[in-house]
């Protein structure tokens, strides 16, 4: 598969690794870099040569520096640059450029600052379209960095700009809203708002994007176009993405990326896939009406219970008999309400449920068939039906589909930044994301970034009151965002 092709970078890493091992078979630092274990990701980051000034140099690292320094004068220049405050121009993108971005994010003062941003947001979670303080905090940080922005979009949303102000424009998006969940994790920066919690990691998304803003601002004079940073409200409820698009957030933007933290991958692992990644999600509520009557004389009533029961059974044939087995889809009836009178046949039954699919075609085909099946089954039993898909209440999410070349860009940047062993091609997931609205407008890619660390206890699923993240992900996410944006502009100008 294309995914596992060995790049020239991988070969050079392998060569350096072999040289290091010959010189010192017990060298630990680069052995950690080469090890594929997820556990050793952080030791790889620490061993990255441009971070050496923050720690003691091991023999293996010295060898690594020597071999790299001998390889080219450009690299020497970059090494000097990465150890100074001045970023290198990366007119030819190499591994050292990626290292420089990662090291900048991992600098002690930058890491502490990203963490403090995340913690302040975590302590003060705000629900959909109420992210006033979160938005204010973001704007204050942007102002400190002298980054211009547009505000408000979709009530609390922000569109920040870094770069030339000229095309091409590439966007990265973070969502800002929390959930109506009481935090059960006892820690110093626990949510201070009763019944509200950042249980989906959107606090980390904001912090990583603010971190990326700092990196990109420091490198602004080298950007070959414009980076748009999108801080979006109401991902969990209310289709904030749709409102942001309506308010012009994608103006001039030709491509967009976003990340979501994942408890399924170890800290710092990047995961994505080309094509459909997350399902489209819709809900329905059907009212089946008949004629009320005494249960002992059913012939004098028109029974909606029977009609609704037949409808439930028939709904299950939409996927099992009409959908391609290779095209995963779901129709689930999750509520059946006929009242609680044991002595009479009710006049109405209310059915509720949800449906999922990975393509817009399948998604809207299911929607059409749910409507047909319920109304036609109602007619068979002399009843009538009305079906509501809540389209006006923003509860429909289309599928999230990654454009092939956009996914490939994420893969290439991640592998260069973090190593092949820290990238995964992930399975499709039945969950939904309102990032899908952006994917309907312009080429897009969505990816996951791991936060799982058993020692810390960050292995609970999102939307759990026990959800927590490994904050070591923050600089990794910041560097990944920045590298994705900068290299997108760089590649476009090639």
Q: Which is nearer to Zn ion, 351 or 432 (CB)?
A: 432
In whole angstroms, what is the distance from residue 442 CA to residue 465 CA? 35
Q: Name the H helices within 219-274.
A: 240-246
Q: Which is nearer to Zn ion, 20 or 200 (CB)?
A: 200
User: CB 463 → Zn ion: shortest distance, Å?
Assistant: 6
Candidates 252, 257, 255, 238; CA nearest to 156 is 238
DSSP 405-420: HHHHHHHHHHHHHH-G
480: three-class secondary structure by DSSP = helix
- With tokens 């009409």, the residue in question is 322
Assess 469 for contact with Zn ion (CB under 5 A). Answer: no
Interacting span for Zn ion (CB under 5 A) from 39-47, 194-202, 401-409, 413-421: 194-202
Q: Which is nearer to Zn ion, 135 or 400 (CB)?
A: 400
Q: At what angle do helices 404-418 and 473-492 cross, to 10 degrees?
A: 120
186 token code pair: 């006892």
Asked if 383 and 350 count as a contact pair (C-beta separation under 8 A), the reply is no
Q: Which is nearer to Zn ion, 200 or 270 (CB)?
A: 200
Selected from 102, 105, 160, 200, the binder of Zn ion by CB under 5 A is 200
Q: Which is nearer to Zn ion, 197 or 228 (CB)?
A: 197
Q: Is 12 exposed, middle or buried (0-12, 13-18, 19+ CB in 10 A)?
A: middle
Q: Is 15 exposed, middle or buried (0-12, 13-18, 19+ CB in 10 A)?
A: exposed
Interacting span for Zn ion (CB under 5 A) from 58-66, 192-200, 278-286, 342-350: 192-200
User: CB 434 → Zn ion: shortest distance, Å?
Assistant: 9
User: CB 89 → Zn ion: shortest distance, Å?
Assistant: 36
Interacting span for Zn ion (CB under 5 A) from 117-125, 198-206, 210-218, 437-445: 198-206
User: CB 200 → Zn ion: shortest distance, Å?
Assistant: 3
Residue, CB closest to Zn ion: 200
User: CB 449 → Zn ion: shortest distance, Å?
Assistant: 12
User: CB 237 → Zn ion: shortest distance, Å?
Assistant: 10
Q: Which is nearer to Zn ion, 237 or 312 (CB)?
A: 237
Asked if 65 and 55 count as a contact pair (C-beta separation under 8 A), the reply is no
State the Cα torsion 305-282-176-220 to the nearest 10°: 180
Q: Which of residues 302-341 bind Zn ion (CB under 5 A)?
A: none
User: CB 356 → Zn ion: shortest distance, Å?
Assistant: 16
Q: Which is nearer to Zn ion, 234 or 249 (CB)?
A: 234
Interacting span for Zn ion (CB under 5 A) from 197-205, 309-317, 340-348, 362-370: 197-205
User: CB 181 → Zn ion: shortest distance, Å?
Assistant: 10
User: CB 402 → Zn ion: shortest distance, Å?
Assistant: 17
Interacting span for Zn ion (CB under 5 A) from 26-34, 143-151, 180-188, 195-203: 195-203
User: CB 357 → Zn ion: shortest distance, Å?
Assistant: 20
Q: Which is nearer to Zn ion, 293 or 431 (CB)?
A: 431
Q: Which is nearer to Zn ion, 347 or 470 (CB)?
A: 470
- With tokens 């044991």, the residue in question is 342
Asked if 228 and 450 count as a contact pair (C-beta separation under 8 A), the reply is no
Interacting span for Zn ion (CB under 5 A) from 14-22, 87-95, 193-201, 443-451: 193-201
DSSP 144-180: HTT-EEEEEETTTEEEEEEE-SSS-EEEEEEE---BS
Interacting span for Zn ion (CB under 5 A) from 9-17, 196-204, 247-255, 331-339: 196-204
∠414-276-319 over CA atoms, to 5°?
150
Q: Which is nearer to Zn ion, 181 or 417 (CB)?
A: 181
User: CB 261 → Zn ion: shortest distance, Å?
Assistant: 8
Taken in order 231, 233, 239, 242, the sign of the CA dihedral is: negative
Q: Which is nearer to Zn ion, 100 or 177 (CB)?
A: 177
In whole angstroms, what is the distance from residue 10 CA to residue 16 CA? 10
Number of residues located near Zn ion, criterion CB under 5 A: 1
In whole angstroms, what is the distance from residue 141 CA to residue 252 CA? 25
Half-sphere exposure of 129 (CA within 13 A, CB side): 10
Residues found near Zn ion in the complex (CB under 5 A): 200
């Amino acid at each position: 598969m294309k995914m596992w092709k060995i790049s020239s970078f991988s070969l050079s890493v392998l060569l350096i690794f072999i040289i290091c091992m010959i010189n010192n078979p017990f060298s630990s630092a680069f052995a950690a870099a080469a090890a594929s274990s997820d556990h050793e990701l952080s030791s790889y980051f620490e061993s990255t040569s441009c971070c050496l000034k923050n720690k003691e140099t091991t023999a293996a690292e010295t060898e690594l520096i020597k071999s790299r320094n001998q390889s080219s004068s450009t690299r020497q220049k970059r090494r000097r640059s990465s150890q100074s405050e001045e970023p290198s121009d990366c007119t030819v993108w190499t591994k050292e450029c990626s290292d420089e971005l990662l090291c900048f994010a991992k600098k002690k003062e930058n890491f502490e600052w990203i963490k403090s941003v995340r913690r302040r947001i975590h302590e003060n979670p705000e629900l959909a379209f109420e992210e006033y303080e979160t938005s204010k905090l973001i704007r204050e940080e942007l102002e400190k960095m002298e980054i211009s922005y547009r505000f408000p979009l979709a009530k609390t949303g922000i569109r920040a700009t870094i770069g030339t102000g000229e095309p091409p424009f590439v966007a990265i998006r973070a969502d800002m809203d929390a959930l109506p969940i009481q935090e059960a994790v006892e820690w110093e920066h626990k949510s201070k708002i009763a019944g509200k919690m950042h249980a989906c990691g959107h606090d980390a998304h904001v912090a990583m994007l603010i971190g990326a803003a700092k990196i990109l601002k420091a490198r602004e004079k080298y950007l070959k176009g414009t980076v748009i940073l999108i801080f979006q409200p109401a991902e969990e409820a209310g289709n904030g993405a749709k409102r942001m698009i309506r308010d012009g957030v994608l103006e001039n933007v030709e491509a967009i990326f976003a990340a979501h933290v994942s408890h399924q991958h170890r800290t710092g692992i990047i995961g994505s896939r080309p094509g459909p990644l997350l399902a489209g999600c819709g809900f329905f509520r059907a009212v089946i009406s008949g004629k009320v009557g005494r249960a002992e004389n059913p012939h004098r009533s028109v029974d909606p219970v029977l009609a609704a029961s037949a409808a439930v059974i028939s709904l299950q044939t939409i996927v099992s008999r009409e959908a391609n087995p290779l095209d995963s889809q779901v129709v689930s009836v999750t509520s059946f309400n006929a009242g609680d009178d044991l002595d009479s046949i009710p006049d109405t039954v209310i059915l509720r449920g949800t449906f999922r699919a990975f393509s817009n075609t399948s998604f809207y085909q299911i929607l059409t068939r749910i409507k047909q099946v319920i109304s036609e089954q109602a007619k068979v039993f002399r009843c009538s039906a009305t079906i509501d898909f809540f389209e006006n209440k923003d509860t429909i999410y289309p599928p999230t589909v990654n454009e092939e070349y956009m996914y490939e860009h994420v893969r290439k940047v991640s592998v260069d930044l973090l190593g092949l062993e820290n990238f995964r091609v992930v399975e499709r997931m039945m969950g939904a994301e309102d990032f899908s609205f952006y994917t309907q407008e312009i080429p897009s890619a969505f990816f996951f970034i791991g936060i799982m660390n058993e020692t810390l206890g960050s292995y609970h699923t999102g939307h759990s009151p026990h959800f927590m993240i490994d904050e070591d992900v923050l600089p990794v996410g910041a560097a990944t965002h920045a590298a994705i944006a900068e290299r997108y502009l760089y590649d476009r100008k090639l």
